Structure 1
Amino acid sequence: MKPILPREHGGWAMVSVPFFLGMAVEGPTWLHLPLFISWMLFYLAAYLFRLALMRRKGRRNYVRWSLSYCGLGIVFLLPPLIVRPSLLWAGPVLAGLLAVNGWYAYRRDERSFINDIVAILAFSVGGAASCLVGKGQLDDAALWVAVSCVLYFTGSVFFVKSVFRERKNANWQKASKGYHILLVVILAFREPLFVLPYAFSAVRTFVWGGKPLSPIKVGIIEIIGSVLFLILSILVFSVTRPSLI
């Protein structure tokens, strides 16, 4: 039977960018390969479980695939977990966040802003876990990776909603632009170089926010923005070791 895969561009970016950023910041190791495979499999399992909560038709098939992905994910997780047992901290954190996502899915309110932020927090855990595997412990860099990803993808949520569901909502347009202005100003005071990874995100909001765009165009914009954020974040970190504590 053909596997079921997510079609959302944003979801693939959110699940991969934090992981790759954490790997780049602390240095890649062989453990990152099985951890990444496991991370992607757990993402697929969670996606299908949410579908099972939202839809009655095909529910058994969704659950079957979800359990299959989850089982494979556990297999690939074993090597990094044996070497870095401290990875276990991520389990309860992810379980709590995914429970919230599941509740919104069950209520068929998965497009709620709060639900989006909770999902972003879950994806950013992957960045911290990637840092841990590279260095062997959680430190200031892991916190920076997680927080920076939360800030960026929160901006993405504002933007995507501003061209689709909230396109005609003036208050939402103001909130979206206000968020990016505030983000850039705060980062500029903290460390000017921090602004670079968010420059495209801010420009994107003011150029295209509130305008009718096709899903394909929005997907392309999001992919370009995510790639730029990843590259510029890596460059900034190579120049300065930011501290958020």
Structure 2
Amino acid sequence: MAKKVQPVIPREHGGWAMLSVPFVTGMFAAKPTLLHIPLFLAWLLLYMASYPLLQSLKKAKNRSMWLSWGIGYAAAAAVFLVPLLIWNPWLAGFAPVQIALVLVAVWHVRHKAERAFANDLCAILLFCTGGVAAYMLGGGIWGRELLEVMLYNVLYFTGTVFFVKSVFRERKNKRWTMYSHTYHIIALLLPLFTLNPWMFLPLLYPLAKTLIFSGKTVKPMKVGMMEIAGSVQFVALSLLLLS
């Protein structure tokens, strides 16, 4: 009997949140259109392609399998992306920035430093470009409003990096716990100086979570559930406050 082929799917729940949250908030901060559907499908498939392609750089075993899945996902993404580029050639302007950020990820993979803080920040910026594209496809323009919508996403997801490190790899590092607390307090205050000062509200939950759990032993399952809850409340409040 032939062995059942299992699809290669990214396993990091944080990645799925970063893929979708900036896109959704950017889309609704402008105006949702039918064109957002193929754009999101292309964005989703490119993310799914990135996982096996990066794995192929780390694992010599079954490298052809990783490459096959990565190329397959990328080809599927092109089916949705190419027509969008034909009708909206300005979308190609995101490519140089995204390629540069992907190269940062490749460098960290090659140097076995995927968990480096700088790599996490670059991943957040990369995913936020999807939010920028969604905002502009919905009729938004370059300007302060766009920058601030993306700022809220960067503030939120950078906070998740601080939190996750403070309960796992840096749990016993008291300085890291202090860094996490300090960051979340600053992140909560920054929206007060933007066009949407009420956007401090979605950052209350991350602050409370950090003050309670940073530096403590927390089961991965519980951390995952808290992060999912955090993403849901961030999206819900953002849609209410930015629409």
The TM-score with structure 2 as length reference comes to 0.93
SS in structure 1 at match of 2:11:
coil
Matched residues, number: 238
| Post-superposition CA distance 1:176-231 (Å, at most 9, x none) | 00001112233335564121111111111111111211111111100110111111
Aligned counterpart, 2:146 = 142
Task: Please say if residues 49 and 62 of structure 1, whose CA atoms lie closer than 8 Å, have aligned partners that are also in contact.
Answer: yes
Task: Please say if residues 31 and 79 of structure 1, whose CA atoms lie closer than 8 Å, have aligned partners that are also in contact.
Answer: no
Aligned counterpart, 1:78 = 82
Q: How does 1:11-90 map to 2 (within 5 A)?
A: 11-90=15-94
Task: Please say if residues 131 and 138 of structure 1, whose CA atoms lie closer than 8 Å, have aligned partners that are also in contact.
Answer: no
Could you tell me how far 1:80 is from its partner in structure 2? 2.2
1:224 corresponds, among 203, 226, 229, to: 229
Q: Structure 1 residues 136 and 155 mapped into 2: Cα distance closer, same or farther (>3 Å)?
A: closer
Is 1:201 the counterpart of 2:227? The answer is no
Aligned counterpart, 1:186 = 190
SS in structure 1 at match of 2:138:
helix
Task: Output the amino acid matched with 2:37.
Answer: L
Q: Structure 1 residues 134 and 75 mapped into 2: Cα distance closer, same or farther (>3 Å)?
A: same
Is 1:133 the counterpart of 2:110? The answer is no
CA distance in 1, matches of 2:77, 2:143: 26
Could you tell me how far 1:146 is from its partner in structure 2? 1.9
Task: Output the amino acid matched with 1:141.
Answer: E
Q: How does 1:3-18 map to 2 (within 5 A)?
A: 3-18=7-22
| Post-superposition CA distance 1:77-129 (Å, at most 9, x none) | 12322222111111111000000001101111100000000000000000000
Is 1:101 the counterpart of 2:105? The answer is yes
Q: Which is worse superposed, 117-126 or 57-66? A: 57-66
Aligned counterpart, 2:218 = 213
| Post-superposition CA distance 1:6-28 (Å, at most 9, x none) | 11111100011001111111111
CA distance in 2, matches of 1:206, 1:159: 10
Is 1:117 the counterpart of 2:121? The answer is yes
CA distance in 2, matches of 1:137, 1:188: 23
Could you tell me how far 1:137 is from its partner in structure 2? 4.1
Could you tell me how far 1:136 is from its partner in structure 2? 6.0
Task: Output the amino acid matched with 1:5.
Answer: I
Task: Please say if residues 131 and 141 of structure 1, whose CA atoms lie closer than 8 Å, have aligned partners that are also in contact.
Answer: no
Task: Output the amino acid matched with 1:199.
Answer: L
Task: Output the amino acid matched with 1:212.
Answer: T
Q: Which runs of 5+ in 2 are unaligned?
A: none
Task: Output the amino acid matched with 1:227.
Answer: V
Q: CA RMSD in A?
A: 1.4
Q: Which runs of 5+ in 1 are unaligned?
A: 239-245
CA distance in 2, matches of 1:189, 1:20: 23
How much identity, in percent, do the aligned residues show? 45
The TM-score with structure 1 as length reference comes to 0.93
CA distance in 1, matches of 2:31, 2:126: 22
Q: Structure 1 residues 78 and 141 mapped into 2: Cα distance closer, same or farther (>3 Å)?
A: farther
